[in-house]
Amino acid sequence: MKAIGFKSFGAADVLQLVDTAEPQIRPNDLLVRNHAAGVNRADIIQRTGAYGRAYFGDSDVMGLEIAGEVIGIGSEVQGFAPGDRVMGIVGGGAYAELARIDHRMAMRIPKGFSFVEAAAIPEVFITAHEALFHLAQLQAGERVLIHAAASGVGTAAVQLATAAGAEVFVTASASKLPQLRDLGADVPIDYKQQDYAAVVADATGGKGIDVIVDFVGAPYFERNIHALANGGRLIQVGTLGGSTGAAVPLERILYGHLKVIGTVMKSRTPDEKREMVKRFSDRWLGCFEEGSIRPVIDSVFPLDKAGDAHRRMESNQSVGKIILEIGHPAP
């Protein structure tokens, strides 16, 4: 089968279309003819060598989410059959014509959704749900601040928080703020021109934010702590701006009864990932079919242009998901 591989760590140019062995189906697996794959920041981290190896999880091929058609099932699979249209999280192997997925991490594609649209759902919406609701316990009427809100996870989080009845603050560059407002953001903040902590203080009368979801890391940490209301929760999802050198205002954390929680899906155990998928699907899958929530797609590239897809993500100009579309020869 065709897949994306690379022989050495480096820039996007190292990604090449190669021939590789088809995945071997295991008892709990679905074998999927893959039609679309989401591009994630973790793929870039893997390509540049930050994980220290060219593979992660249970495949030599990169990629964490798929959308396609079931063409084979393992001996212990329940609830799925060949021909089903599925999407879901994989432990590697998404940048390929065929992929295997544990059936307990697969979800049926919402009615009316294309494979490209479906591939834009699993990683970002499950991550957003986990941060906002399972970890932060966000409630209707609370205030939430979502940093890097134009990212895939950010655009998902804005929609979920809005649907849950929260007041949504977001940070992004000025050109991206109108789209975020269209998704439901109440208080858009241009992080390049405005001090988000000052905006929060002014907008809340000094009371602060109940929940912050942050992808930036060390440069924002101290300000995040001071921007939280008493009893507030900071959910640290990434460290795009760096992970060291942050000042830790312990007195504010102590006397404000604050919670600081870190989460990364990629390093979760398979059992934990299955539970994350179930929590998300139980609450939100119906909303996609109703049309109240939809993935935001920035751009679509063919599989053999995976390098261009990575360059698009590295440009930091995207809003929403970047997708690889995987064609298949006619039978």
pTM: 0.95
Equal CATH topology for 2-121+267-325 and 126-262? no
**Average pLDDT of span 124-131:** 97
% of the chain surpassing 90 pLDDT: 90
pLDDT digits (tens, 9 = 90+) for 243-270: 898 999 999 999 999 999 999 887 888 8
Task: Say yes or no to pLDDT of 330 above 80.
Answer: no
* Closest-CA residue to 89 (of 218, 276, 249): 276
Fold of 2-121+267-325: Quinone Oxidoreductase; Chain A, domain 1 (3.90.180)
Instruction: Compute CA distances 235 → 61, 138, 169, 221, whole Å.
Output: 30, 11, 15, 11
Binning pLDDT at 50, 70 and 90, where does residue 103 land?
A: very high
Half-sphere exposure of 16 (CA within 13 A, CB side): 9
pLDDT band for 271, please (50, 70, 90 cuts).
Answer: very high
C-alpha span between 269 and 30 (Å, rounded): 19
**pLDDT tens for each residue of 2-52:** 999 999 999 999 999 999 999 999 999 999 999 999 999 999 999 999 887
**Token pair recorded at residue 251:** 């007195």
**Which sequence spans correspond to the domains of the chain?**
2-121+267-325, 126-262
Average pLDDT score over residue span 188-207: 97
What is the arithmetic mean of pLDDT over 235-248? Answer: 91
| Mean pLDDT of all residues in 47-60 | 81
Confidence category of residue 331, pLDDT binned at 50, 70, 90: low
Could you tell me the pLDDT band of residue 194, with boundaries at 50, 70 and 90? very high
What pLDDT digit, counting tens, does each position of 278-307 carry? 999 999 999 999 999 999 999 999 999 999
Q: Which residues pair with 286 in a beta bridge?
A: none
Task: Give the total residue count for the chain.
Answer: 331
Q: What is the CATH number of domain 126-262?
A: 3.40.50.720
